[in-house]
Chains A and B, each alone.
Chain A
């Protein structure tokens, strides 16, 4: 597996990175935080290894996609592999519910407080 970033406009290369899979685990939100539970091991696919390196500290799915220069959908597939083998854990967003529902006022108060302190 080559380490260079995939040309995201080229479906053939995406096909290679994902081993031909196109169904992503939709439970990974853009802002789900991913944390590595172990380090890379020899022989691991380079994209998997890079994700484990990046996620030594919590890293959002969208940041992983940007760092790896891969589309979000592809990253979701790779994260599914790592989760299935227990190499990562996911911290899912509390606030991501349906489009029209509001989070509770206590959470929003905390957000406001954080913004005011910037």
Chain B
């Protein structure tokens, strides 16, 4: 490479030149549950936002309609970044969990290590669809309950597990998405879960 005549934007911290492996984790949950807050609290860059344009035909939503082939849908998603070491960099994607966005997931988030379902106990309904789809796709996930100060009802994790009809093997954790070490604990809970599953898979082979 020749000498740099134009600098990178000042807000952007470049990755180490030895970075070679990108990894993905998706944070999913209802509107306003704190997905972006969680991404922000653990990301080494300010969360960025990008978009994807997809034609309806391209995602198989309505392949029979000639009109649908000309319809494009734009979906925005937030992401953050964590450099794990000199070679590995983890990207966290905050994705809307509602039914109408699900068509994105296969396309954009295939190959994710796993998912965090962020739950707000005041609006647990928002989580059902996401959990259902993750189970359907056999994407490993953990449930993180975002406890706000005003979360006075304090449903226990067991009560929430019941309400969400979560199987016993799905880990649950309390968190405060605003706090870095709390967000970090959520990710560790997920990766621990994945690691246990991988070990179990490897020992049965």
Q: Chain A residues in contact with chain B, CB under 8 A?
A: 8-9, 11, 14, 22, 29-33, 36, 38-39, 53-54, 56-60, 62-63, 65-67, 71-74, 91, 93-100, 102-105, 108-116, 118
Contacts and interface: CB of A to CB of B under 8 A. Distances in A.
Contacts of A33: 15, 19-22, 89
A112 B22 contact: no
B138 A114 contact: no
B195 interface: yes
A116 B188 contact: yes
Contact of A102 (B19, B20, B140): B140
Interface stretch (B43-51, B60-68, B122-130, B147-155): B43-51
B119 interface: no
Contact of B21 (A56, A67, A74, A93): A93
21 contacts: A30-B24, A30-B108, A30-B109, A31-B91, A33-B89, A39-B2, A56-B4, A60-B89, A71-B50, A72-B52, A93-B22, A93-B111, A97-B111, A100-B137, A100-B138, A104-B198, A108-B191, A108-B194, A111-B84, A111-B90, A115-B184
B85 interface: yes
A32 B184 CA distance: 24
A20 to B, nearest CB: 15
B53 interface: yes
A99 B137 contact: yes
Nearest to A29: B111
Interface in B9-35: 9, 12, 14-17, 19-24
B204 interface: no
B140 to A, nearest CB: 7
B163 interface: no
B201 A102 contact: yes
Contacts of B173: none
Nearest to A14: B53
- Shortest 5 CB-CB distances between A and B: which pairs? A96-B111, A114-B84, A31-B22, A57-B14, A66-B48
Contacts of B88: 110-111, 114
B143 interface: no
A95 B74 contact: no
A111 B42 CA distance: 14
A102 to B, nearest CB: 5
Nearest to B184: A118
A105 B200 CA distance: 9
